[in-house]
Amino acid sequence: MARQYIISHDVGTRGTKAILADTAGRIVHSSFEGYEVQYPRAHWAEQQPDAWWSAVTSSTRRLLGESGARPDDILCMTFSTQMLGVVPVDGEGEPLRQGIIWMDARADRQARQVMRKILGPKVFAMIVGAEATGKDVLPKMLWLKENEEQLFARTSKFLDVNGYLICRATGNMIADWSAASVTGLFDLKKKQWSDFLIGFFGLPKEKFPELRCSTDEAGRLSRRCAEEFGLLEGTPVICGAGDAPAAAVGSGAVGEGEGHAYLGTSGWVGVVMERACTGKCGVASIQSADPSKCFLIAETETAGACLRWIADQFFSEEHQPAAMASVFRQMDAAVEEVEAGSDYLIFTPWMYGERSPVADIYVRSSFINLSADHTREHMVRAVYEGVAYNLRWMLEVMSDKFGYSQDSLRAIGGGALGDPWLQIIADVTGKRVERVAHPQEAGAVGAALIAAIGLGVYDDFPALKGVIQVERVFQPTAAHVGIYDRLYDAYREVYGALKGLYREINAERFRTARE
């Protein structure tokens, strides 16, 4: 009798995490395949679609080879992927250029044009929840229309990362609801493309793919792709979801008002909710993997990326890329030797602009109050704390503006592997932080469980409530409340004090880069 497994891929910014999981989301085997981000010009960020596919192919074959699973053991394949990407493809599904990924901020001028058509930035922010930025999907599409006219004309469909992978695997051009909901062109209540908005911004409706919900079957593996993977032709491919909605499922926070924090290259705080509400302060309401719910998300552009940066800059002589995990352990040990508050040193984690709690592509990171008394170790701890301050700010926005306040947060992502960082987050936010088992694979586990619902293994998402297990709980440290409250108040003042300077300096950098 064949065993029953799901192959799930979490296709992120730096690589693909693939798992072979049973229908309860338990990981039987895992694999990782890395790839690079390319920066052709300042503020641009692209990836080769073939790199995603190669990583998916290699990791699938490795899963099968190392686990001993047979092709007829596999119930389906599915994906969780980075969001806010744009991949123009021709009628055969072939990409016409490199994928423009979520980090890319090239479309600032188009974002300003979008806001002018909606009576300006203030009115736009009142309607949508935040000003449009050059990182948003709609401005990126308009940038292609203006700057790569021939390519735009040849484009059959605009896909995202998930849509491209599904198209290559099955031949079907689709977008799952969660991916569509971050374009600014999706009707969240009616679950369909907004013909009015698409026409209003001058985009051809025929260039937008068919819509499916996350639990739907997207198609079946073609013979050619099945041979590449080492799987059976006709193996079902379930739509899956964007990384944030899939990770929410993998965190186990699937009930109304339940929240989780993700610590990866980027980071976010997400809450599942029934109502679709208008965003505020850079917090967006998008489609959940659960077709009956929405997902309130506050995203910070760089979380783990800040730790990676300080590792590269301050520990470069002590590690090689293959040994990065040991460097993070060394950094964790250093952090534990420094008192809470880093001797009043503050770091702002806005290394590549920000979405929430402030939506601003010009803002950048700073060390505030740095003195000759501070050491490398103080700076490392300040980075950990800076990301925690940003998470606290986002949580307060969710509470004050939307009425969603949690006593506890599920913690997932690669950053959740480090005990000191989770303790700092608990101390700064005052929340109980619950790390799930296998936090780094939460996105892939979530996608696998979404697929299990699609296959009929579970009736609905509430049935998953008891499936995800908590590995460790971090309680706030009462002795640290005073120092963190004082420094958090100071942290909140930094953006207001410096935002004009950031804009002045970096607007010039943007202009120079374009020239």
Mean pLDDT of 324-340: 91
Q: Report d(CA 445, CA 468) in Å as an integer.
A: 9
Q: Is residue 370 situated within a structural domain? A: yes
Q: Which amino acid type is present at position 21?
A: A
Q: What is the DSSP string of 449-497?
A: HHHHHHTTSSSSGGGGTTTSPEEEEE---GGGHHHHHHHHHHHHHHHHH
Q: Is residue 379 situated within a structural domain? A: yes
- Strands 432-436 and 408-412 turn out to be parallel
Q: Which amino acid type is present at position 90?
A: D
The two three-digit tokens of residue 410, written as one number: 């599920």
pLDDT digits (tens, 9 = 90+) for 184-205: 899 988 999 999 999 999 999 9
Whole-Å CA distances, 51 to 2, 89, 165, 289 = 32, 16, 11, 26
pLDDT confidence of residue 90: 98
With a CB cutoff of 8 Å and minimum separation 6, the contacts of 88 are: 95, 96, 97, 144, 151, 152, 154, 155, 157, 158, 159
Q: Is residue 341 situated within a structural domain? A: yes
With a CB cutoff of 8 Å and minimum separation 6, the contacts of 497 are: none
The CATH number that applies at residue 488 is: 3.30.420.40
Domain limits for position 366: 304-354+362-386+477-514
φ, ψ dihedrals at 329, nearest 5°: -65, -40
Helix (H) or strand (E) holding 248: helix 243-251
pLDDT confidence of residue 40: 94
Q: Is residue 488 situated within a structural domain? A: yes
- Strands 259-263 and 408-412 turn out to be parallel
Q: How confident is the model at residue 355 (pLDDT cuts 50, 70, 90)?
A: confident
- Asked if residue 275 lies in contact with residue 188, where contact means CB atoms within 8 angstroms, the answer is no
> What is the pTM assigned to this prediction?
0.89
In the block, which residue shows the tokens 């229908």? 23
SS3 190: coil
Counted domains in the chain: 1
Label residues 231-252 b or e (16+ Cβ within 10 Å = b).
beeebbbbbbbbbbbbbbbbbb
Q: Report d(CA 261, CA 270) in Å as an integer.
A: 7
With a CB cutoff of 8 Å and minimum separation 6, the contacts of 50 are: 95
Cα–chain-centroid distance for residue 138? 18
Q: Report d(CA 319, CA 286) in Å as an integer.
A: 39
Q: Is residue 489 situated within a structural domain? A: yes
Helix (H) or strand (E) holding 135: none
Q: Is residue 461 situated within a structural domain? A: no
Lowest mean pLDDT among 141-150, 242-251, 401-410: 401-410
pLDDT confidence of residue 256: 87
- Asked if residue 88 lies in contact with residue 158, where contact means CB atoms within 8 angstroms, the answer is yes
Q: How confident is the model at residue 392 (pLDDT cuts 50, 70, 90)?
A: very high
The two three-digit tokens of residue 388, written as one number: 């925690």
Cα–chain-centroid distance for residue 353? 15
Q: What is the DSSP string of 56-106?
A: HHHHHHHHHHHH---GGGEEEEEEEE-SS-BEEE-TTS-BSS-EE-TT--T
Q: Is residue 133 situated within a structural domain? A: no
Q: What is the DSSP string of 326-389?
A: HHHHHHHHHHHTS-TTTTT-EEE--BTBB-SSS-BSS---EEES--TT--HHHHHHHHHHHHHH
The torsion angle over the Cα atoms of residues 347, 350, 355 and 358, rounded to 10 degrees, is 50
pLDDT digits (tens, 9 = 90+) for 442-490: 999 999 999 999 999 999 999 998 899 999 999 999 999 999 999 999 9
- The size of the chain, in residues, is 515
Q: Which amino acid type is present at position 396?
A: E
Q: Is residue 514 pLDDT above 70, yes or no?
A: no
With a CB cutoff of 8 Å and minimum separation 6, the contacts of 452 are: 6, 23, 25, 458
Q: How confident is the model at residue 315 (pLDDT cuts 50, 70, 90)?
A: confident
pLDDT confidence of residue 118: 83
Q: Is residue 490 situated within a structural domain? A: yes
The two three-digit tokens of residue 342, written as one number: 């880093």
- Asked if residue 87 lies in contact with residue 164, where contact means CB atoms within 8 angstroms, the answer is yes
Lowest mean pLDDT among 127-131, 228-232, 312-316, 424-428: 127-131
Q: Report d(CA 417, CA 387) in Å as an integer.
A: 15
Average pLDDT of the chain is 92
The torsion angle over the Cα atoms of residues 506, 509, 511 and 515, rounded to 10 degrees, is -170
Mean pLDDT of 370-395: 97
Nearest one of 312, 322, 320, 182 to 244, comparing CA atoms: 182
With a CB cutoff of 8 Å and minimum separation 6, the contacts of 114 are: 124, 132, 138, 139, 142, 201
Q: How confident is the model at residue 56 (pLDDT cuts 50, 70, 90)?
A: very high
Q: How confident is the model at residue 129 (pLDDT cuts 50, 70, 90)?
A: low
